[in-house]
């Protein structure tokens, strides 16, 4: 009874926090990002034409839009709008997802023997790290993705501790739904299969191998479906778009002046538009992107490393300004492009120009990023926690960090934030327990 009361109070506290940020979103209206319109359009297309095309069906078809956004988040929007036709209702649902994930984090910590401190540490973290609640107030797939990734991790931990077959399939099925939500995790099937083979030899559970093959088989099915739709075998058009229009563009910004870089990208784009065959255009776009990268390996390597660093330490300036209604710049004027062109010095110069309240917010979030990262690294070496759990947590976090590449931002770290927070809470709890025991002895 005491445990149930504690969980209820915990959920209510988180509910009040999320309600506060929801009310700000209602007031500012800053609930849409650049991708939001495509998700909303996709949901409308799913209802009207049963297609997850994310462009306007009344305009000339753009084959990129057939495969740009996997269907799960669009399906969720469509389902929620059948109940209440309001984008704010979507945000309320996402707040519930966020609260359920953080409650699940308490449950998994209990499973690992940490009963006391999570119920106070997690609300304190959400208070000092607003991006969790802020992200729940965007019509974006991030919180849904976070939910799926976390509960996949949850059932992986349950499997390690119970060895039950149902947990093997639950964690793999949730990974499949995650890859059908955002393509960033599409290659995770490779480390997941390798890990499953290792776990098979350790635990001798035959179901590990077939369960790990569900994800690559679903990805193959989607690629074949996209081949039938577009004539080109691929999972998502986002990959090649990002390769040329972001990764390669950042290289040009670092090797040429901005005007020349913009002209070269525009010339490439115009050339690609002149190719009528989608398969040939996609292959040429990929070739152009890789050619720029391979001809500038060191420049790209630096950009990639910087992007991964941003994944872990970005204070989320763009998201915060968008959410609070302060954003008055184009994407190409944002901090990401400043960083790609002028590095940390350029970012620092722009940050100190922020108003004092905004600057305070960014400093607090940046500091929490450092604490979170440091705590997670220490957790990975905690021998009292099963090595399988630490390996899987490390794989999830660093795989998604690496895959974010030069585009790494705080918003992408939201996907694995609860996993990192689990590590931090275990480290803090162990420290507090040790300190208390020393005081008792003395």
pLDDT tens digits for range 136-191? 999 999 999 999 999 999 999 999 999 999 999 999 999 999 999 999 999 999 99
- pLDDT, residue 258, reads 87
- pLDDT, residue 330, reads 56
Report the distance separating Cα 114 and Cα 36, nearest Å. 38
Number of neighbouring beta carbons within 10 Å of residue 84? 12
Q: Are the beta carbons of 404 and 311 closer than 8 angstroms?
A: yes
- pLDDT, residue 1, reads 63
The contacts of residue 177 (CB under 8 Å, 6+ apart) are 72, 148
Number of neighbouring beta carbons within 10 Å of residue 431? 13
- pLDDT, residue 5, reads 85
Could you tell me the two tokens for 279? 């398969």
Q: Are the beta carbons of 250 and 406 closer than 8 angstroms?
A: yes
Q: What percent of the chain shows pLDDT beyond 90?
A: 85
Q: Identify how many contiguous H helices and E strands the chain contains and give both numbers.
A: 23, 0
Which residues in 205-236 are b (16+ Cβ under 10 Å) and which e?
bebbeebbebbbebbeebbeebeeebebebbb
Report the distance separating Cα 112 and Cα 423, nearest Å. 11
For the chain, residues with pLDDT lower than 50 are 331-332
Q: Are the beta carbons of 341 and 258 closer than 8 angstroms?
A: yes
Report the distance separating Cα 312 and Cα 315, nearest Å. 9
Q: Are the beta carbons of 45 and 57 closer than 8 angstroms?
A: yes
Query: Minimal CA–CA distance to 264: which of 281, 248, 243, 283?
Result: 248
- pLDDT, residue 112, reads 93
Q: What is the mean pLDDT of the chain?
A: 93
Report the distance separating Cα 352 and Cα 370, nearest Å. 19
- pLDDT, residue 332, reads 47
Instruction: Specify the residue for token string 């999320």.
Output: 18
Q: How far is CA 246 from the centre of its chain?
A: 18
- pLDDT, residue 353, reads 72
Q: Are the beta carbons of 333 and 258 closer than 8 angstroms?
A: no
Could you tell me the two tokens for 85? 């036709």
Q: Which helix (H) or strand (E) holds 338?
A: helix 335-351
Report the distance separating Cα 227 and Cα 221, nearest Å. 10
Query: Minimal CA–CA distance to 358: which of 405, 331, 389, 318?
Result: 318
Query: Minimal CA–CA distance to 122: which of 15, 10, 16, 19?
Result: 10
Q: Which helix (H) or strand (E) holds 77?
A: helix 72-83
The model scores a pTM over 0.85: yes
Sign for the pseudo-dihedral over CA of 71, 74, 78, 80: positive
- pLDDT, residue 411, reads 95
Report the distance separating Cα 65 and Cα 432, nearest Å. 51
């Amino acid at each position: 009874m005491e445990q149930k009361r504690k969980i209820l109070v915990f959920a209510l506290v988180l509910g009040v926090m999320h309600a506060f940020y929801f009310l700000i979103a209602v007031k500012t209206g800053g609930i849409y990002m650049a991708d939001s319109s495509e998700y909303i359009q996709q949901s409308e297309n799913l209802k009207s034409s049963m297609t997850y095309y994310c462009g306007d069906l009344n305009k000339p078809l753009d084959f990129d839009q057939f495969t740009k956004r996997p269907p799960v988040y669009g399906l969720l929007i469509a389902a929620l709008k059948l109940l209440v036709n309001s984008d704010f209702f979507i945000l309320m649902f996402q707040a519930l997802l966020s609260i359920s994930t953080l409650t699940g984090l308490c449950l998994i910590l209990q499973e690992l023997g940490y009963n006391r401190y999570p119920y106070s540490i997690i609300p304190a973290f959400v208070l000092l790290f607003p991006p969790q609640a802020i992200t729940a107030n965007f019509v974006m797939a991030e919180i849904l993705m976070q939910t799926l990734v976390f509960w996949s991790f949850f059932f992986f931990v349950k499997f390690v501790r119970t060895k039950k077959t149902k947990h093997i399939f639950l964690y793999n099925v949730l990974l499949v739904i995650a890859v059908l939500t955002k393509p960033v995790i599409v290659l995770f099937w490779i480390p997941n299969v390798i890990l499953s083979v290792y776990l098979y030899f350790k635990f001798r559970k035959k179901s590990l191998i077939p369960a790990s093959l569900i994800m690559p088989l679903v990805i193959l099915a989607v690629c074949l479906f996209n081949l039938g739709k577009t004539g080109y075998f691929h999972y998502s058009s986002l990959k090649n778009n990002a390769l040329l229009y972001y990764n390669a563009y950042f290289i040009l910004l670092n090797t040429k002046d901005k005007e020349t870089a913009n002209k070269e990208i525009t010339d490439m784009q115009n050339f690609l538009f002149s190719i009528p065959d989608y398969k040939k255009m996609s292959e040429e776009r990929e070739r152009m992107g890789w050619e720029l990268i391979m001809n500038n390996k060191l420049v790209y390597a630096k950009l990639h490393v910087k992007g991964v660093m941003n994944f872990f330490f970005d204070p989320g300036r763009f998201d915060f300004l968008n959410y609070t209604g302060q954003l008055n710049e184009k994407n190409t004027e944002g901090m990401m492009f400043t960083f790609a062109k002028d590095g940390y010095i350029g970012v620092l110069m722009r940050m100190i120009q922020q108003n004092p309240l905004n600057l305070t917010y960014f400093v607090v979030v940046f500091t929490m990023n450092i604490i979170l990262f440091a705590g997670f690294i220490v957790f990975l070496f905690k021998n009292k926690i099963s090595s399988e759990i630490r390996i899987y947590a490390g794989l999830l976090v660093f795989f998604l960090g690496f895959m974010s590449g030069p585009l790494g931002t705080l918003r992408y770290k939201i996907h694995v934030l609860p996993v990192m927070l689990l590590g931090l809470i275990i480290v803090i709890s162990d420290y507090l327990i040790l300190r208390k025991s020393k005081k008792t002895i003395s």
